[in-house]
Structure 1
Amino acid sequence: MELNAIAGPYDAIFSLGMNCLPAIQLERNGIRPFTGVLDWVNTDYLADVTRMLNKRFADFGLRHNLVSEGPFGDFLLLRDLLNGMVIVHDFPLKRNSATNWPDYDAFRTKMDRRIERFLHKAATCRRILFIRTSGYPHEAQELEQALSTLVKHEFHILLVNHNPVPGLVEDHWPHKHTCAVTLPSQVDIWNANDPHWRHLLQHVKYTG
């Protein structure tokens, strides 16, 4: 799928990780109407995301699967051992510790609401865009298959990898739903590639 094919209006736009970067770029480009399930978690491997989608997030972030990974800035990191993800921004250190998570109930309520919205949008929206950083071609194919069982109408995936390239590179994968591109692996990928992200998303519109 080519980059120009992702242009146009969408009823919903979701980040699929691997970190907070897609959500941040959607916000900066004015097309992030709501928070998604995976906006503020780290998922290193796309295969883990695909498994969560296949399970409809049924065991996402359950307390008995979580272990502390220590502090990160002002937050406590919690790893979901079953789903291969790290919860980054939901447990402030001022209220939570390695052995005590009083914010868990609020986290659970919030995530259940986001999961319900994700599944509802997947079942009802006419056109959805998913954005993911990091993934291989075979993983993207598996992701397409998982989303095909959830999404009832049209969907596209923008998959962004980072490698030592001089600028934005279209990868021209032969996938039906996935447009794969490569961006420069900057020291500061959170900000240095902003012009490339603006180019990627310039013709993407949220209709809501």
Structure 2
Amino acid sequence: MNVLIVYYSLYGHIAAMAQAVAEGVNQVPGMVATLRRVPETLPEDVIEKMGAKQAQKAQSHVPVCTLEELESAEAIIFGTPTRFGNMCGQMRQFLDSTGQIWNRGGLVGKPGGVFCSTATQHGGQETTLMSSIQTLLHHGMVVVGLPYAFAGQMRVDEITGGSPYGATTIASGDGSRMPSENELDAARFQGKHIATITQKLRS
């Protein structure tokens, strides 16, 4: 069964989390993770000025997601950086193109979840997750978060992301901080958790 991981990553933080989510999905027998990017909307010269060209090149092997893939997947997990406490514009534009899928109920009953990144500890992780979850609910998806069974989200001995609404990472204001091992473990846990629930629902 296919679990689709659809993400946008400018500097590579969400790409690293997406890979960890995929590793978690693949731990469940019979479940296969498929990584897909959403279309880029920034001009190439702007990406270069933002210093993101190398990170974008590193993700070029990941195909861009099609709308047909959303409907054929057994479950979908979305990953997005935070932009002013909400999902990024690239993800919003992609999801805004799913009106016909919504009209025919193409995602109704599919398990789904969200993971994200922010620049700072309190940069809108939970608002991004919750506002993204609203779109999943409008599509009739079965929302799955990151339960406290993953105890790593309660750690106070280090700076770390993590929320019951989904796995998160903190990138730092200059993007220099990549996901910690604890944050990657959270992403793996969420991927495995969603894959397990998907398997149970489909059995």
- With the shorter chain as reference, the TM-score category is 0.3 to 0.5
Q: Which has the higher strand share?
A: 1
Q: Which has the higher helix share?
A: 2
Q: Rg bigger for which structure?
A: 1
TM-score (norm 1): 0.44
TM-score (norm 2): 0.44
